[in-house]
Structure formats: C-alpha cells, structure tokens
Amino acid sequence: MTDVSSEVRELAGREYQYGFVTDLETDVAPRGLNEDVIRLISAKKNEPDWMLEWRLKAYRGWLTMQEPSWQKARYAPIDYQDIIYYAAPKPKVAPASLDEVDPEVLAMFDKLGISLAEQGRLSGVAVDAIVDSVSVATTFKEKLADVGVIFCSFSEAVQRHPELVRRYLGTVVPRRDNFFAALNSAVFSDGSFCYIPKGVRCPMELSTYFRINAADTGQFERTLIIAEEGAYVSYLEGCTAPMRDTNQLHAAVVELVALDDAQIKYSTVQNWYPGDAEGRGGIYNFVTKRGKCAGANSKISWTQVETGSAITWKYPGVILQGDNSVGEFYSVALTANHQQADTGTKMIHIGKNTSSTIVSKAISAGHGQNTYRGLVKVLDSASGARNHTQCDSLLLGGDCGAHTFPYVEVKNPTAQVEHEASTSKIGEDQLFYCRQRGIPEEDAVSMIVNGFCREVFKELPMEFAVEAQKLLSVSLEGSVG
Amino acid sequence: MLRIENLHASIGGNEILRGVNLEVHAGEVHAVMGPNGSGKSTLAQVLAGRESYDVTGEVLYEGEDLLALSPEERAAAGVFLAFQYPVEIPGVGNLYFVRTALNSLRRRQGLDELDAIDFLSLARERMGLVEMDESFMSRSVNEGFSGGEKKRNEIFQMAVLEPKLAILDETDSGLDIDALAVVAQGVNALRSEGRAMLVITHYQRLLDYIVPDVVHVFAEGRIVRSGDKDLALELEQHGYAGVEQRAALTPSAAPVGATP
C-alpha cells in the first residue's frame, strides 16, 4: 500500500510505447545550417525559385533573431549547427500509390496502430503520413478530389497548386514571426496542405501522422489549411518519435485561414517521446500554430492533448478579424517525469462582436512543470468582443508545479473578458472514496484525471477522444508501486 | 461478523481511538453515539482502510484480519462506508462511477461484469429505494449535489453494491426531516439477516427511523457504555455528559456485542 505521493512518484516509471526505431534507408543532408543546406533542401524538392527565395529571406531574418528566453522552461543551449535539417526515407520520390510505398514504412505505421493499407476500406479518415522530412503516403486523395478538396503533402502542393501556396503561405505566421517560425520558414521540409473550396463540407476527417525516425534530425513541418467561404473541415494530427538519449528539435508552423462563414476544427494528440525518468532525451516541441478568422462569421477551434515531448512550447492562437468570428482553444497538457510544458493560446480580437473561449487543463506529476500562458487582446475596433477563459491545474504529488500567466489587453470599453482559474491536488479524499467503493488505485487515478479533462475530451472527434483517454491512462500506468 | 479488540488509532502522534472493543453479528444494527470529536468517524475511517492513521489492535472480519487488507480489498470483502462528507469527482458521471465500482467488485469476486444495459436496470430499481431522480445519474459524482442528495447517493451506492457490513457515518447530518425519512426508509429496506450495519450518529432522531439492536456510547476514543435502544433515549434525556458520568461509576459498562 502506498500513499499518494509515493504512488505518484512512480509516474516517473511510465513507459513510452512508441519508442522503437525502424531501419529505413535514409537520405540525409549534411549536419548544420547555411544557405547551401537550404538550397539543397529546395533542390531535393525540386522547388520553384520563388519558394527558394522565400526560404532564403526567412533564413537571413533568422540570423538576426535571438532565441527567446521568456518561456518557463530550462534546457541546455541548442547547437543549431549540430542538427540535420533534412532526412528522408528512400526512395525520395513520392510514391504514386500505396502499392509503391516502402513495405518497411507501412509496417512501421502498422506498429503505430495506423494501417495505411486498410485506411481505404475501414475508417472514414484520410491520412497523410509523414516520416522525418517527407510525406510517405496520403490516403483517400481521389475521393476527396471528387468534391474539390485538395489534401496532399506540402511539397506536392508547391508543385501542383503554387498559386494557392503563394497566396496564403506566411499570411498568418509571417516569416519573421518568431525565432522558431523563422527557422521553420527557412528549412521546412514537409507537412500537409488542405484546401476546402467554397461551400464544401469536407466529407471525412483529415489527418496527418508525424513520425520522427532518423537520429539527430530536426523535424520542421509546415501545414497550411484554407477553408473558403462556407466550407467546413475537421483536421487531426498525431505524433510520435523513437526513444533516444539526445534531444531532438521539432519546430513546426501551422497556418489556418477561414474565410466568410467557414469553420476549421483542428485537433492534436501530441505524444512525442518525453525523455526518460531522469529527463534525458525527448523532443523539444517548439511550435507556432495560428489561425486567422479572415471572414465574417468564421470559426476556428483548436483542441490539443499534449502528453509527450521533453519541452512543449506552443500557443495555438486565433486572429479574429472577421466580424462575429469565433475562436476556441481547448487544451489538456500532461507533464510527468521531468517534462516541461509552457503552452496556452493567443486570441486577438479585431472584428466586431468576436468571441473566444479558452479552456485549459494542466496535469502535473513527477517533476513535471506545467505553465499556462495566454494572451487575450481586444483591439479598439473590436466592439462587443467577449472572452471566457478557464484554467484548471491538477497536481499529482509534491514535486511538480503548475503556473498560470494570463495576459489581458483590452482597448475597447465594450469588451467583456472573464478569467477563472483553479489549482487542485488529486485528493487523498477522492482516491480513498474510489478505493472504498472497490475501484483499484490505478483505475481511480486514471478516472479522476479523465474526469478532470472531460470538458476538453468532449471537443475531440470520437476516435481521437478514445485515443486520448487511452493515452492518459497509459501515461499514468505504473502509478501504483 | 466483526470483532474489534483493543483498537487504537492515532494521527500525527495524537491518539484518537483508545482501545475500542466491539462485536457485531450478521443481521444486527448497532448504533454508535457520542459527542463531537469523540472518535466515531475515525472508527469508521479506520475500518474502511484510511491510510493516514497509525493503527494497533485487532479487527477480525468474517474471521479475517481486516487491517491487513487494502481499502479496495475490504470493499470486495463486503465492507461499505457511507461517507459523512461524500467526495465530489468532477467530470466523472455518477452512473459510470457506480458501474465501475460494481464491476471492480465483481471482478475481484470472480463474477462476470455487468454490461451497461443490465446495470442500468439494476440502478433504476435501486434508485427507487431512495427516491432518487434519474437526472442525478448523468451528473458528475456528488458535484453540485445538495447535502441531502449526497447522502441519498451514498445509500443508493450501498443498495447497488450490496455490502455485508455497512458503516453509515453521520448519514443523518445535513438532512431535513423529509430527506431523513427517505434515507432511513432506504436503509431499512436494506436490512437483512446476512447484513450488519454500524450506524454512527450524533443525534437520537435518526434512531427513531432506524431502530438499532444495540446502542453504544462513544467517548474519548472508546465505547463507554452499551445497551439496547432505550440507551439512546436515556442519552436524549441526560445528554452525553450525564451518561458519561454514570459510565464512570460503572466502568466496564455492558458486555460487548449484547444481543437483543
């Protein structure tokens, strides 16, 4: 029998089940970063000149920028010359159909529980599978094309839909938005591209699965989703990486654009390798995600479940430009072992009667440090703007921490902004109550934590909600000594 | 069924139970009465397996060493505690919670788990015992429940889990007279030959509804007097102070486990 604290200390022992490495023949760029490496990446992808120019401008901007230090996370300095910026499983030419995908790659995804081969028959989810720097397969393309939806890798979009990429790339997250976004803009390798034409409701969930496989590589994906007037799309992303002793950098940029009456729902289950019990290894997840409600009555909703990564640094935000537009952010962040998460959102109200909702649930265990950092900014143009923010933290044990930094800037007197916050410890009382009813301790912890997250889980698409609950339970496994 | 011998319990060096002796047989209802702070609730918590106490002495439950079991093992062996302050668990549906509890018990007992449909019909039937509205079932465990609703929920859970030994810790506190009657009616419906109950209360009024076989007076961490249901009435007249004085004159009071 254990008391709560010793039991929670055991959280450190949680096992990461996606930590295997697949032996793929990989084409890599030389270590380090300079203009030649960027030219190499661009050439590998056979990119047009404008794309290379765009990258080089980003790189030159990045050289003048400083790595941010305001986030509440501690880590050793990153040597940007010791990272490999491009790694691709061979063959590097994108396969025309699933039959041409390397069987090793298909087997790897099977092992991750995502059967690309069976996608066509079984589930109603279209998947873009990305390994290291390239997209290896995209399912359901033809079916989506029938309704005019474009869903492909970013590289393919640059080749086949350059006008759309040029029109929207960097319009939500500018090249020099921040240090990591600038780095991404210079070296981004692949990612997903979605375009939903006017009036189309995307007939299935779109999903990207990111997998880091090669060692010492950074992953710099770039995702761009555009919903034209009246369009609707629900997009999911999942991520895993092998267990390695060294830290790996993942600096992604995601841009969403919603025009009049359009809706984008973006869900993430992030389970990058978090490092071991002593805090060795794990992914640095430094990500810039932002959506722009460019049109009136548009809506962008972010839902994230963050259980992985050694350090998470991300603030999926919404620029509420169109009148009556709506932004939502629902987040569950779990930090165990020595994980650090500094995450939250930015809601920028520009249009009239814009509204935003923020629900953040932070769970800290072991030596985990969990920070909510959010900005609600109401410009003077945004009359009638409303925001409701709710931040709840749950502590498991005495060695972890929860922090909340809400920033609120209001320039319009008609705005209403509400903020609620709570911090609680997983109660001995709650645990005892469950156990007295016959529920074993481990199940009780998992039940209480899942209950705490319910408001967020109910925003996830069904399959993902089940996945997320399982993930939390696995993360909490071994919590009883 | 339950035999407690020389039970001591302390927390942070502070001794709360100071040699409790008690014997309860199947089918009996024992009331434990006593002033605030006398250790009644600690007795309930220790029997249910709360780990924050240092415990010595012996508790035999159906011939087994109860103190060696974890709280969930005690629950599986048929020990149920109706909490004085039922705990809120936000986001966990009440019905889901009770089903998880029942199936955890059934698993331990080597029985098949009940599926959602079978469970629902069982739950509906048991809700009737405490006149509980179905709308409670989809709400989170005890969250936003009034005091009376929480206590009804405890008795509802007891009705579903069907324990052998039910410990009711101040189930009457915070109840108005109508709610008290409903809760007591639920408890009485669950009295049976195979089931024993330990009813902990501060006030005699509960015992007007749940008539005990044995009444114990608890003071300063132990039982100072035992008797039949008339002892409760005597308490009502003379107060705890009066009864303790009398007890002081006749130290070894009534024999433990006096049967009616």
B111 at A interface, C-beta within 8 A: no
A322-373: per-residue pLDDT in tens?
A: 999 999 999 988 887 788 888 899 999 999 999 999 999 988 888 888 889 9
What average pLDDT does the segment A11-30 reach? 61
**Lowest mean per-residue pLDDT among A200-214, B7-21, B57-71:** A200-214
Distance from CA of A305 to the nearest CA of B (A): 17
pLDDT on residue B136 = 82
ipTM above 0.90? Answer: yes
The tokens of A356 are what? 């935003």
Q: Which residue has 């990258």 as its token pair? A: A55
Whether residue A8 has pLDDT greater than 80: no
Q: Chain A residue closest to B81 (CA)? A: A436
A266-279: per-residue pLDDT in tens?
A: 998 877 777 777 76
Whether residue A217 has pLDDT greater than 50: yes
A441 at B interface, C-beta within 8 A: yes
Put simply, the answer to whether B104 touches A433 (Cβ < 8 Å) is no
Of A437, A450, A451, the CB nearest to B75: A437
A200-215: per-residue pLDDT in tens?
A: 999 888 888 776 666 6
Looking at per-residue confidence, does A247 or B196 come out higher?
A: B196
A450 at B interface, C-beta within 8 A: yes
Query: What structural domains and CATH numbers belong to chain B?
Result: 2-249 (3.40.50.300)
pLDDT on residue A244 = 59
What average pLDDT does the segment B210-229 reach? 92
pTM of the predicted model as reported, rounded to 2 decimal places: 0.79
Looking at per-residue confidence, does A236 or A325 come out higher?
A: A325
- How confident is the prediction for chain A on average, in pLDDT? 82
Of A429, A432, A454, the CB nearest to B71: A432
User: Percentage of chain B with pLDDT > 90?
Assistant: 70
Put simply, the answer to whether B101 touches A438 (Cβ < 8 Å) is yes
- Cβ neighbours of residue A196 closer than 8 Å, sequence gap 6 or more: A148, A149, A202, A225, A226, A227, A228, A231, A232, A233, A262
pLDDT on residue A6 = 40
pLDDT on residue A10 = 42
Whether residue A157 has pLDDT greater than 80: yes
**Lowest mean per-residue pLDDT among A233-237, A348-352, B17-21:** A233-237
pLDDT on residue A104 = 66
Q: Chain B residue closest to A452 (CA)? A: B91
A434 at B interface, C-beta within 8 A: yes
pLDDT on residue B255 = 45
pLDDT on residue A219 = 77
The CA-to-CA distance between both ends of chain B, in Å, stands at 16
Q: Chain B residue closest to A446 (CA)? A: B92
What average pLDDT does the segment A100-118 reach? 61
**Lowest mean per-residue pLDDT among B12-21, B65-74, B156-165, B251-260:** B251-260
What average pLDDT does the segment A238-247 reach? 64
pLDDT on residue B67 = 96
User: Percentage of chain A with pLDDT > 90?
Assistant: 40
Whether residue B29 has pLDDT greater than 70: yes
Put simply, the answer to whether B71 touches A436 (Cβ < 8 Å) is yes
Most confident stretch, A72-76, B59-63, B239-243? B59-63
Put simply, the answer to whether B104 touches A450 (Cβ < 8 Å) is no
Q: Which of B104, B108, B168 to probe the A interface (max A CBs under 10 A)? A: B104
| C-beta atoms surrounding A108 within 10 Å | 23
Q: Chain B residue closest to A432 (CA)? A: B50
Q: Which chain B positions have a beta carbon within 8 Å of A435's beta carbon?
A: 49, 70-72, 75
B154-165: per-residue pLDDT in tens?
A: 999 999 999 999
Grade residue A123 by pLDDT with cuts at 50, 70 and 90: very low
Put simply, the answer to whether B91 touches A427 (Cβ < 8 Å) is no
Cβ within 8 Å of A, B 76-95: 76, 80-81, 83, 86-92
B93-129: per-residue pLDDT in tens?
A: 999 999 999 999 999 989 999 988 899 999 999 999 8
Looking at per-residue confidence, does A2 or B188 come out higher?
A: B188
Whether residue A9 has pLDDT greater than 80: no
Whether residue A84 has pLDDT greater than 70: yes
pLDDT on residue A144 = 85
pLDDT on residue A421 = 87
SS (H, E, C) chain A: CCCHHHHHHHHHHCCCCCCCCCCCCEEECCCCCCHHHHHHHHHHCCCCHHHHHHHHHHHHHHHCCCCCCCCCCCCCCCCHHHCECCEEECCCCCCCCHHHCCHHHHHHHHHCCCCHHHHCCCCCEEEEEEECCEEEEECCHHHHHHCCCEEEEHHHHHHHCHHHHHHHCCCCCCCCCCHHHHHHHHHCCCCEEEEECCCCECCCEEEEEEECCCCCECECCEEEEEECCCCEEEEEEEEECCCCCCEEEECCEEEEEECCCCEEEEEEEECCCCCCCCCCCEEEEEEEEEEEECCCCCEEEEEEEECCCCEEEECCEEEECCCCCEEEEEEEEEECCCCEEEECCEEEECCCCCEEEEEEEEEEECCCEEEEEEEEEECCCCCCCEEEEEEEEEEECCCCEEEEEEEEEECCCCCEEEEEEEEEECCHHHHHHHHHCCCCHHHHHHHHHHHHCHHHHCCCCHHHHHHHHHHHHHHCCCCCC
